[in-house]
Amino acid sequence: MPPRAIYLVRHAEGFHNVNWQHHLRDPDLTPLGHKQCATLAGNFPYHANLTTVICSPLKRTIQTTLESFHPAISRLSSSNPSFKIITNPYFQETGEWECDIGSEIPELNTWLENYHTENPQVNGYEHISLLDFSLLERESPFWPAKKQIFAANKASERSQYARQWLYENFSEYEEVVIVSHGGFLHFLTDDWGQYDESLGTAWKNTDWKCFKLVPEGGRMRLVPGEGGSGNIEGKDDGATEKAEVYAGGHIGEATNKV
C-alpha cells in the first residue's frame, strides 16, 4: 500500500531564480528564500503527522528541507535514533544547466558545515548529520552528472520511477514530505492543467500540495489528497523553470541541447 499522504513542496527562492542566473552551479537560497522557509516552518499544518522527509539533493532543496521542516525533523529524530532525511536524486530538477547540476557529497558536507558555523541563528542545520546520501552513492557515476535517467529528456521516465519508488518503499501508515523543483513537479504529478508558460511552472517558491498514489493502467499516478495545499506568495521570474520544461521535451519542439 502507498503512503496515506504525500506532501509535495517546491523549494524556496534560489539565486538562480533571480534574473535567470542559470550559469550558477548548484546555487543556494537567497535572503528572501530563507525568509520563505521560516514562514513555511511556521505555517505548515502537518509537522506532527509527518513520518518521512525526502528531498532532492541540490543545495536549495536541502536548505528548504532543513529550514522549513525542522519541527518535524526534531520530533522524528528524538523519537527514532535511526531516523534519516532521505536525499533522492530522482526528485532533482529536469534541466542540464549549471544551476541544476548537483554537488559531490564531500562538497555538500563541507558546505553544510560551513553554513551552520557561519549562520548559527538559522534553524535546521543542527540536523545536517541526519542527511542520508546513500542513494546518491548508489547512482554513481550518474550523480551529479545529467546522464542516463537523469538527462533532461528522461524526465517523464524518471518521474514514473519516482512514483513507483514511493509505492514500493512506504506504507499506508506513513505521511511523506518531498521537497523538489518547479519543473519536475509537473512531471511527477503529470498535472499541466494550471501550467503557466510565461512563468515556467504553476508552483511558486515554497508552495505545497497534498497528493496520494493510485494505480492506473499498470502505472502509479499522483492525485490530489485530502490535506489541501498552501503557499506564502513566494515569487520568482520563472524563466529557469520554463526553459527546463522545454528541455525536458514536454512542450513544443523541445530538444536536449543544454
pLDDT tens across the length of the chain (258 residues): 789 999 999 999 999 988 778 889 999 999 999 999 999 999 999 999 999 999 999 999 999 999 999 999 999 999 999 999 999 999 999 989 999 999 999 999 999 999 999 999 999 999 999 999 999 999 878 889 999 999 999 999 999 999 999 999 999 999 999 999 999 999 999 988 776 666 667 789 999 999 999 998 889 999 999 988 887 554 454 555 555 555 444 443 332 222
Give the per-residue pLDDT at 247: 47
Give the per-residue pLDDT at 258: 23
Is residue 208 within 8 Å of 5, Cβ to Cβ?
A: no
Q: What are the DSSP E strand ranges found in the chain?
A: 5-10, 52-55, 85-87, 131-132, 175-180, 208-216, 219-230
Residue 23's closest CA among 95, 94, 93, 99? 99
Give the per-residue pLDDT at 198: 61
Task: Report d(CA 108, CA 126) in Å as an integer.
Answer: 15
Give the per-residue pLDDT at 251: 41
Give the C-alpha distances (Å, rounded to integers) separating 63 from 59, 85, 220. 6, 12, 29
Give the per-residue pLDDT at 193: 74
| DSSP summary character for residue 14 | B
Sign of the Cα pseudo-torsion (78, 76, 112, 69, in order):
negative
Cell numbers 534541466 correspond to 95
**Which positions ≥6 away from 138 have C-beta within 8 Å?**
none
Q: Which domains does the chain have, with CATH numbers?
A: 5-247 (3.40.50.1240)
